[in-house]
Amino acid sequence: MTSLKQLKESFVSDLTGGSIEEIYLVTSVALTSYLSYKLIKDSITQLPLVYDYVINVLTILTAITIYSNNTAFLHYSIFFPSLLMFLLNHYTSKKRNKKSQRQHSTTNDALLSRKQFLTAYRSHMLIITNLAILAVDFKIFPRRFAKVETWGTSMMDLGVGSFVFSMGLVNSRQLIKVHSRYRFSWNAYSKIIKQSTIKALPLLVLGFVRFISVKKLEYQEHVTEYGIHWNFFITLGLLPVLLGILDPFLNILPRVSVAFALLLLNELILKRTSVLPMILSSGNRMDNFLTMNKEGIYSFLGYFTIFIFGQSFGSFVLTEYPTRNNLIFISKTKVTKRNSNFVSVSTTEGLVISTIFYQALFTIVNNSNNLTNISRRFANASYILWVVSYNAAFLLGYNLIDKLLPEQTEVASDVLEGVNNNGLLAFLLGNLTTGLINMSINTLEVSGTVAFLILIGYSIVWLSVTIVLNRKHIYIKL
């Protein structure tokens, strides 16, 4: 007789995913929600928390569950009521907050400043991720959105890569702050290695705890995702370690060039060595530690590359004004119209160029017969470029919304601020709560209505914690 654990494992195994177009349509509900949030905020200074939740969380949950087959209608349902409210307010209100407008029209001289669109981008990405890790265990969540077995695309496959990309993007803030002329010394290098290892320890401990928990509690696991001992926390934990090891190269060479070098190395390994058939083989799983964790070990190269690509975006996405050659290099030198050039760009210019470039490159690679197809399991070149091109396009979308509707007040979304400022905690709570729910009920037998209500309650739990901590100015970030 098949056990419940085996049934749950088979429920998320051997899946083939869905189309890229549908993934973009579904996840862009987050963009529509942000646009609607901005439109409503123009009319209401302080948006009540319940409406904040509905716009920034419930709309996304609806998109990946009950409206997954009618996403276009959901876009209209979110956008048009908020547009109507905006127009009514715009044409009936005689007094505008001139003081606020003057504040937003002034130039900010700080190189690094807080950008609302980045808060929305990171928060929505974390919200989608957290909703999906539990929703995938219910039948209300379409199987085409769940992680594919080997080749193909799905929303959850994209989510894992986007999570790492956003970490790289945020990590580059510190790089810009401390940027100076690089001089190598063994003392400084050993100190960086030590600091990177210490930084990695909490996530590596979490990865070890998750491994022990899964084995002891006989929790369902998908071995071909990362392997027997490996998991996503271990991948995240090892990122700063390798960053520390490669620090001299990353300081001498532009990060984007390092990322492309790793991208090519990844594809060469898969095409010119026996690594690909070794990973695909099911008969060698128990041979040694390497084969037991072959997916997690190999895909780490791809995730590290995505992280470096994310860092390369920071030099123009995070900065308030164009700096010298910031499309490629990290720089603190402000550029004026007199000495500007093609690679010294504003945030919007950089995102337009990056979106066009990476979308074109991804299209070429994805249609090539000489390269391996998209695979999250390997985190190969086509997968990496898919993740980078997607995030470039969505960052541009969020940025353009902010350009179209600049903030009129300093009152921010409790939901978006809470998740952004406590991203690591939100992710941990999501994983823990998902485990508790899965051990408490048989998710495969739950009706769609009950599943939707459980997902609402689940989201309220971890959101409430992040919001309360944010209001108390306690931050646990990624």
Within-domain flag for 290: yes
Asked whether residue 453 falls in the same domain as residue 338, the answer is no
On whether both 286 and 357 belong to a single domain, the answer is: yes
Residue 221 binned pLDDT confidence (cut-offs 50, 70, 90): confident
Task: Of 225, 56, 76, give the one whose Cα is nearest residue 157.
Answer: 225
Amino acid at 279: I
Q: Give the end of a domain, one of 351, 384, 410.
A: 410
pLDDT given at position 409: 66
Q: Please enumerate in sequence order all residues whose Cβ is within 8 A of that of 114, keeping only pairs 6 or more positions apart, or say none.
A: none
pLDDT digits (tens, 9 = 90+) for 384-402: 999 999 999 999 999 999 9
pLDDT confidence band for 98 (50 / 70 / 90):
very low
Q: Which of 161-165, 166-170, 220-224 has the lowest mean pLDDT?
A: 220-224
Residue 441 lies in a domain: yes
What are the two backbone dihedrals, phi and then psi, of residue 319, each rounded to the nearest 5 degrees? -80, 150
* pTM of the model as a whole: 0.93
Same domain, residue pair 255 and 385: yes
Percent of residues, the chain, with pLDDT higher than 70: 94
Are 168 and 138 part of one and the same domain? no
Both 362 and 263 in a single domain? yes
- Whether 232 and 332 share a structural domain: yes
The verdict on residue 100 lying in a domain is: no
Residue 398 forms part of a structural domain: yes
**83: in domain:** yes
Rounded distance between C-alpha atoms, residue 477 and residue 67, angstroms: 32
Residue 104 lies in a domain: no
Q: Confirm whether 63 is domain-assigned.
A: yes
Domain limit, last residue, from 353, 376, 410: 410
* 207 and 319 co-located in one domain: yes
The residue segments making up the domain with residue 444 are 17-89+112-146+413-477
Same domain, 139 and 177: no
Q: Look at residue 105 in the predicted model and tell me its pLDDT.
A: 43
Q: How far apart are CA 119 and CA 390, in angstroms?
A: 17
241, 122: one domain = no
Structural domain count of the chain: 2
Q: Which residues contact 125 (CB under 8 A, 6 or more apart)?
A: 30, 159, 162, 163, 166
Tell me, yes or no, whether 44 and 182 share the same domain. no
Q: Is the distance from CB of 478 to CB of 427 less than 8 angstroms?
A: yes
Residue-averaged pLDDT of the chain: 90
pLDDT of residue 407 exceeding 90, the answer is no
Q: Is 468 inside a domain boundary?
A: yes
Please tell me which residue, 58 or 43, carries the higher pLDDT value: 58
Read off the pLDDT of residues 232-284 as tens digits, 9 standing for 90 and up: 999 999 999 999 999 888 989 999 999 999 999 999 999 999 999 999 998 99
How far is residue 129's CA from residue 123's CA, in Å, rounded to a whole number?
A: 10
Res 353: pLDDT: 96
**460 and 395, same domain (yes or no):** no
Radius of gyration of the chain (CA): 23
> Which domain-ending residue is among 410, 427, 455?
410
**Same domain, residue pair 362 and 473:** no
